[in-house]
């Protein structure tokens, strides 16, 4: 540990190590965050108005009375729940599959991970073609009703295309986290449970899963964050359509601000999103930490 007595020396150390990064952090994160809060309760819109002219909670009231905001939130929750469950079930399953000690599993592991390398914009365009052209041609050719109309054209199925693409994209990433968890389990515990006559399934439920709660905490946290804030895939795959039915919350905020130029209301919605994300993250990690202790 270092101690500098003189103020001038302390300033020098701070200038060397802390000043530039903290200045940039302050300008890029703290200033927009604080101004963002002020924006919602004053007349300032970024272009006109004043940051000191208080208008109360008007922006929040109009945000909550916008029916599109509500329907966007509902679509987002639905998307998050299905994506969360399916991504983690599939990710965990893949992790079990590629840790059996069989030949070729490294190759499978890498190929399951590949979609993660590619940005949401490009993946969304790829799947747009798959859903609107490839699947439709299969459907028409074979007379399969579920594929003969593009899933992107129907509000019911369009949200599912987003869920499918997100699960396909993220499950390989979660697989890696679960693999690390599986590798960390003490081998002697597995042997002991085998000696006790536990079946492979029982071993999974009674030994592996309880010991892997930390992996679940991380994976669920990451999937929650990712899926609440998804924007790229949403933009390139469905662009919010048809009829704004798949306009998830991040895209809704973007539209509000940059297409309709309603900055104050848009920022009010953005802060609501922040509160939701923060509350869910804190609650989830809190609950899981408790489970870790008990397990």
Minimal distance, residue 16 CB to another protein, in Å: 6
Give the C-alpha separation, 261 to 247, whole Å. 17
43 binds another protein (CB under 8 A): no
> Per CB under 8 A, does 2 bind another protein?
yes
Q: Are 289 and 217 in contact (CB under 8 A)?
A: yes
Q: How far apart are CA 204 and CA 102, in angstroms?
A: 19
Considering CB under 8 A, how many residues would be counted as binding another protein?
88
Among 61, 81, 185, 278, binds another protein (CB under 8 A): 278
CA–CA separation, 22 and 127 (whole Å): 41
- The answer to whether residue 63 forms part of the interface with another protein (CB under 8 A) is no
- C-alpha–C-alpha distance, residues 190 and 211, integer Å: 11
Q: Given the complex with another protein, which of 192 and 289 has the nearer CB atom? A: 289
Subset of 194-253 contacting another protein (CB under 8 A): 218, 222, 225, 228-229, 231-232, 235-236, 249-250, 253
**Distance of closest approach, residue 229 Cβ to another protein, in angstroms:** 5
* 39 vs 159 by CB, closer to another protein: 39
For another protein, the closer CB: 11 or 192: 11
Q: Give yes or no for a contact between 86 and 74, defined as CB atoms under 8 angstroms apart.
A: no
- Which positions from 118 through 137 interact with another protein, judged by CB under 8 A? 118-122, 125-127, 129-130, 133-134, 137
Residue 194 near residue 202 (C-beta atoms within 8 A): no
> Using CB under 8 A, which of the segments 42-50, 61-69, 80-88, 149-157 binds another protein?
42-50
If the CB atoms of residues 209 and 276 are measured against another protein, the closer one turns out to be 276
**Residues in 144-203 at the binding interface with another protein, rule: CB under 8 A:** 168, 172-173, 176-177, 179-180
The single residue among 71, 108, 193, 213 that binds another protein, judged by CB under 8 A, is: 108
């Amino acid at each position: 540990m270092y101690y500098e007595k003189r103020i001038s020396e302390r300033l020098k150390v701070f200038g060397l190590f802390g000043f530039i990064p903290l200045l940039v952090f302050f300008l890029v994160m703290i200033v927009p965050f604080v101004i963002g809060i002020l924006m919602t309760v004053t007349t300032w819109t970024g272009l006109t108005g004043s940051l000191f002219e208080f208008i109360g909670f008007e922006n929040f009231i109009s945000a909550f009375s916008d029916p599109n905001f509500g329907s966007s939130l509902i679509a987002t929750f639905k998307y998050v729940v299905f994506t969360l469950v399916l991504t983690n079930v599939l990710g965990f399953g893949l992790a079990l599959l590629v840790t059996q000690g069989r030949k070729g599993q490294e190759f499978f592991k890498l190929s399951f991970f590949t979609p993660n390398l590619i940005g949401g914009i490009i993946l969304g365009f790829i799947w747009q073609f798959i859903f609107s052209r490839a699947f439709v041609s299969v459907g028409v050719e074979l007379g399969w009703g579920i594929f003969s109309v593009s899933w992107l054209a129907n509000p019911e199925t369009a949200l599912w295309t987003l869920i499918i693409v997100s699960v396909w994209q993220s499950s390989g990433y979660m697989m890696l986290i679960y693999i690390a968890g599986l590798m960390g389990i003490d081998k002697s515990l597995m042997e002991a449970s085998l000696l006790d006559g536990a079946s492979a399934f029982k071993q999974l439920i009674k030994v592996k899963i309880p010991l892997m709660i930390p992996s679940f905490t991380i994976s669920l946290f990451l999937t929650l964050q990712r899926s609440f804030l998804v924007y790229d895939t949403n933009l390139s795959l469905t662009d919010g359509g048809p009829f704004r039915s798949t306009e998830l919350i991040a895209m809704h905020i973007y539209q509000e601000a940059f297409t309709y130029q309603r900055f104050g209301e848009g920022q009010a919605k953005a802060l609501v999103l922040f509160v939701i994300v923060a509350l869910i993250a804190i609650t989830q990690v809190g609950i899981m930490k408790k489970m870790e202790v008990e397990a």
